[in-house]
């Protein structure tokens, strides 16, 4: 249960090996009230061991979960819910090679399942549990990519749009006190997901995302951008005429390396 000082005790991470998720967990652990972290993902053994070695006073467990195996995700979450969670992080994601994703239906569908459908199932199951327990915070890691389609990452972005749209609607449907949804839209973040790409202006670290999550977890706006000034950059880019927007792109189609690479 989140205590009176906003300290979190039990966390479920969907996308358990995500570098951003680990930074968030580390930030939540700063208040020293963290009791249990369950890392859900495909192959969690080494991830669980390394988190245990960093947080000896926290009960770190693994939950086997493949987000492409839709139809079984809710049952897996329900079975592992135990005494409940204060916070569920949806931090899974896959950034496919855009060119392959445009040509190979299997690559496109895999991205859609991980970035949207699988996390929709996980998030919907978590919300049912939150309603039963009468409390909980769902943190959804979206992306500034949702703000405008880009020629070099629109397959990735299309899944993110679905998840973001769902989460924003959900945030408006709850009272925002006992049950809260926090939607986080980072620009480019230095993790293994983006390491092979040229660094864009306003690229940030996982710890920046983590600080924004911790700051807004129990109160504040239900949608945040990281860094926060990206909100205004994207608000401007969103309204540029399409021919201009396309010309700003590194591929001649969109503003990635020049503005704020919205992964
Ligand atoms: N890095 C960026 O520039 C950036 C920018 C904006 C938003 N984001 C978003 O931030 C979130 C975290 O990304 P990150 O940067 O921390 O990257 P990351 O370290 O690569 O994390 C991605 C996570 O997704 C998991 N995943 C992929 N396919 C899965 C599947 N089929 N089933 C279950 N889990 C699966 C990965 O697990 P495996 O270890 O099994 O692959 C990993 O835990 C993602 O939603 C990403 O889209 C990232």
Report which DSSP code applies to 42.
Answer: S
pTM of the predicted model, to two decimals? 0.94
- Sheet with strand 136-141: strands edge to edge: 59-64, 36-41, 10-14, 87-90, 136-141, 179-186, 223-226
List of long-range contacts for 71-79, beta carbons under 8 Å, 24+ apart: 71/121, 73/118, 73/121, 73/122, 73/125, 74/121, 74/122, 74/124, 74/125, 76/40, 77/12, 77/14, 77/40, 77/122, 77/125, 77/126, 77/129, 78/125, 78/129
Q: In the chain, how many domains are there? A: 1
Query: Which pLDDT score, from 0 to 100, does residue 63 have?
Result: 97
Q: Is residue 49 part of a domain?
A: yes
Measured in angstroms, how far is the CA atom of residue 91 from the centroid of ligand 1? 6
Report which DSSP code applies to 7.
Answer: -
Name the active-site residue from 81, 85, 156, 245.
156
Measured in angstroms, how far is the CA atom of residue 250 from the centroid of ligand 1? 24
Q: Which residue has its alpha carbon closest to ligand 1 atom 24?
A: 92
Q: Is residue 1 part of a domain?
A: no
Per-residue pLDDT of the chain in tens (263 residues, 90 and over written 9): 777 667 899 999 999 999 999 999 999 999 889 999 999 999 999 999 999 999 999 999 999 999 999 999 999 999 999 999 999 999 999 999 999 999 999 999 999 999 999 999 999 999 999 999 999 999 999 999 999 999 999 999 999 999 999 999 999 999 777 999 999 999 999 999 999 999 999 999 999 999 999 999 999 999 999 999 999 999 999 999 999 988 877 654 333 433 445 45
Separation between Cα atoms, residue 83 and residue 9, nearest integer Å: 12
**Cα separations (Å) of 136 from 37, 132, 171?**
15, 10, 12
Separation between Cα atoms, residue 249 and residue 210, nearest integer Å: 29
Query: Which pLDDT score, from 0 to 100, does residue 255 have?
Result: 35
Q: Is residue 258 part of a domain?
A: no
The residue written with tokens 């991980």 in the block is: 114
Report the length, in residues, of the chain: 263
Measured in angstroms, how far is the CA atom of residue 239 from the centroid of ligand 1? 29
Contact between 233 and 260 (Cβ < 8 Å):
yes
Q: Compute the C-alpha angle 73/77/81, nearest 5°.
A: 175
Look up 156 and say whether it is catalytic: yes
Query: Which pLDDT score, from 0 to 100, does residue 250 have?
Result: 61
Separation between Cα atoms, residue 66 and residue 53, nearest integer Å: 25
Q: What three-state secondary structure class fits 201?
A: coil
Per-residue pLDDT tens for 163-175?
999 999 999 999 7
Query: Which pLDDT score, from 0 to 100, does residue 75 have?
Result: 98
CATH number for the domain harbouring residue 235: 3.40.50.720
Q: Is residue 5 part of a domain?
A: no
Q: Is residue 3 part of a domain?
A: no
User: Which H helix or E strand runs over 210?
Assistant: helix 206-216
Separation between Cα atoms, residue 28 and residue 30, nearest integer Å: 5
Measured in angstroms, how far is the CA atom of residue 151 from the centroid of ligand 1? 21
The domain of 91 spans 10-247
Query: Which pLDDT score, from 0 to 100, does residue 259 have?
Result: 42
Measured from the Cα of 145, ligand 1's closest atom is 6
Q: Is residue 262 part of a domain?
A: no
Phi, psi dihedrals of residue 147, rounded to the nearest 5°: -80, -25
Query: Which pLDDT score, from 0 to 100, does residue 261 have?
Result: 52
Instruction: Give the residues surrounding ligand 1 with Cβ less than 6 Å away.
Output: 15-20, 41-43, 65-68, 91-94, 114, 141, 143, 186, 188-189, 191-194, 263
Q: Which residue has its alpha carbon closest to ligand 1 atom 26?
A: 92
Report which DSSP code applies to 74.
Answer: H
């Amino acid at each position: 249960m989140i205590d009176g000082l906003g300290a979190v005790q039990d966390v479920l991470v969907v996308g358990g090996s995500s570098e951003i998720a680990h930074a968030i967990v580390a930030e939540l652990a700063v208040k020293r009230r963290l009791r249990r972290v369950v890392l859900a993902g495909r192959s969690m053994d080494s991830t669980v061991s390394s988190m245990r070695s960093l947080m000896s006073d926290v009960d770190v467990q693994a939950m086997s979960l493949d987000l492409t195996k839709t139809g079984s995700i809710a049952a897996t979450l329900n079975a592992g819910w135990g005494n409940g969670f204060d916070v569920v992080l949806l931090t899974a994601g896959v950034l496919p090679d855009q060119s392959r994703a445009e040509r190979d239906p299997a690559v496109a569908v895999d991205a859609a399942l991980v970035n949207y459908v699988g996390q929709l199932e996980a998030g919907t199951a978590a919300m049912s549990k939150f309603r039963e327990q009468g409390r909980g915070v769902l943190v959804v890691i979206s992306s500034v990519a949702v703000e405008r389609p880009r020629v070099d990452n629109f397959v990735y972005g299309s899944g993110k749009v679905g998840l973001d749209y769902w989460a924003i609607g959900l945030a408006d449907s709850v009272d925002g006190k006992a049950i809260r949804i926090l939607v986080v839209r980072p620009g480019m973040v230095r993790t293994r997901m983006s390491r092979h790409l040229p660094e864009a202006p306003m690229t940030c670290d996982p710890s920046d995302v983590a600080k924004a999550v911790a700051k807004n977890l129990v109160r504040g706006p239900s949608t945040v951008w990281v860094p926060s000034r990206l909100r205004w950059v994207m608000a401007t880019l969103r309204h540029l005429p399409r021919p201009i927007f396309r010309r700003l792109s590194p591929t001649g189609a969109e503003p990635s390396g020049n503005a704020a690479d919205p992964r």
